Structures are given as C-alpha cells and as structure tokens.
C-alpha cells in the first residue's frame, strides 16, 4: 500500500473521531504513530477463531461481515459497509481470548486495525478518548440491540420487512446470500419474499 494511501486511511479515522468530539494534538500524534492500515482482499478472513481477538477495526472502504459457525453452517451475525468500527465479540472485563466470530472481507476492504490494549492506554492518557469511546459504544449497543430484536421475529416475511424498516445498510450493495444468512432464512425464501413484495408494489 502506498504511503500516501496509508496517510489518507489514518486521516479517515481521525475525521471520524473528530466528528464525535474535538481531539487534541497529542491524541492525533498517538493515532498517527501507532496505527497501520491494511488492505484485505475479497473473501479473505480478517479474523478467525485461530486468532486472538486483539484488535477492533475501522472500516474505511469495502464490505465486511461477521459470522459464526454452528454445526458446520455459517451464520452471518452482522454486515458493515464502512465508516464505522467493527470487531468480534469480547467481554470488556475479561482477558482477551481467541475470537468466537469470523470477520471476512466480502469485497476488497481497507481497514485500520486498532489494538484493544492501545485503546485502553488512550482512555488513561487522553480524556477525550472516553467521550469518543462512549459515543461509539452507544452506536454499537444500539445496532446490536436492533440485530437482537430482528433475529427474534419468528416469521421470515415480517423479519425481512423489519429489516427494511430498520434500514441498517444499503441492501443493494450486499450479496443476497449474505442477507439471507443474516436474516436466518434460505436464499430461496428471501428471493420469494422479495418478488412478492415487488409484485405488491406494482
């Protein structure tokens, strides 16, 4: 990756932070010194259960999903189109363990990894990090609560309608088989529901 592209990607993180709260020169310096952007090619894993769950990631561009395997079958737990932080589930007070989730790039994706230990240092050394962290966690908590409610709706059709209503991301940018997996239905069921809804609109 070109050095100028790396600078651009780290700046994208800084812009995101400063949209949440003013940041100080010392904070900016720490970020610029410590973060190393990465490019993850389409279909490659960013994290899998053989890896320690050391980092969260800011997604600048691309498409990323989280999934777990249950009985050998992949279940998509969330999907990200970028401009947000993502990460595998991790209890805040427990030691970092191997991830139980897989993180996978569905398109070539540019990410900025941020080690959890580094974030914890920033919380101590730069007060504004607590405001920024609180705002990011409030957004993540809201999104996870929506995912949790969505997954509990028993009827596949109402689940899809609720999904559209929540409008968490642009459906047209995500492969249908991923959306089907995220909504806990077979691809054929999702296609049938979608064509029925289109017919009702005509």
- Shorter beta-carbon distance to a copy of itself: residue 71 or 200: 71
Distance in Å, CB of 131 to a copy of itself, minimum: 5
Distance in Å, CB of 100 to a copy of itself, minimum: 8
Q: Which two tokens stand for residue 83?
A: 């401009």
| By CB under 8 A, residue 167 contacts a copy of itself | no
Q: Which of residues 139-158 bind a copy of itself (CB under 8 A)?
A: 139-142, 144-149, 151-155, 158
Q: At 86, is the secondary structure helix, strand, or coil?
A: strand
Q: Rounded to an integer, what distance in angstroms lies between the CA atom of residue 134 and that of residue 2? A: 33
The strand ranges marked E within 17-158 are: 38-40, 45-47, 55-61, 64-70, 73-80, 84-86, 102-105, 109-115
104 near 67, Cβ under 8 Å? yes
Strand duo 64-70 + 73-80: pairing: antiparallel
| By CB under 8 A, residue 186 contacts a copy of itself | no
Distance in Å, CB of 94 to a copy of itself, minimum: 9
64-70, strands of its sheet edge to edge: 45-47, 102-105, 64-70, 73-80
User: Looking only at Cα atoms, what is the longest distance across the chain?
Assistant: 58
Q: Binding segment for a copy of itself among 10-18, 42-50, 73-81, 102-110 (CB under 8 A)?
A: 73-81
Binding mask 9-48 for a copy of itself (x = CB under 8 A): ----------------------------------------
| By CB under 8 A, residue 77 contacts a copy of itself | yes
- Residue from 121, 135, 192, 194 touching a copy of itself (CB under 8 A): that is 135
Cβ–Cβ contacts within 10 Å for residue 179, how many? Answer: 19
Q: Which residues bind a copy of itself (CB under 8 A)?
A: 68, 70-71, 73, 75, 77-78, 89-93, 101, 123, 127, 130-131, 133-135, 137-142, 144-149, 151-155, 158, 184
């Amino acid at each position: 990756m070109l050095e100028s592209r790396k600078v651009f990607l780290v700046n994208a993180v800084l812009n995101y932070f400063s949209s949440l709260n003013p940041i100080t020169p010392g904070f900016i310096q720490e970020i610029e010194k410590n973060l190393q952007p990465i490019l993850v090619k389409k279909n490659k894993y960013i994290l899998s259960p053989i890896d320690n769950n050391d980092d969260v990631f800011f997604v600048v561009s691309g498409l990323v999903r989280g999934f777990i395997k249950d009985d050998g079958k992949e279940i998509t737990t969330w999907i990200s189109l970028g401009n947000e932080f993502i990460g595998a589930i991790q209890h805040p007070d427990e030691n970092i363990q191997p991830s139980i989730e897989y993180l996978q790039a569905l398109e070539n994706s540019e990410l900025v990894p941020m080690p959890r230990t580094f974030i914890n240092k920033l919380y101590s050394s730069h007060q504004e990090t607590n405001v920024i962290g609180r705002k990011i966690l409030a957004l993540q908590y809201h999104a996870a609560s929506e995912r949790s409610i969505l997954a509990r709706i028993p009827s596949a059709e109402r689940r899809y309608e609720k999904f559209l209503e929540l409008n968490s991301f642009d459906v047209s940018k995500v492969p249908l088989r991923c959306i089907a997996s995220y909504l806990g239905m077979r691809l054929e069921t999702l296609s049938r529901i979608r064509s029925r809804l289109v017919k009702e609109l005509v």
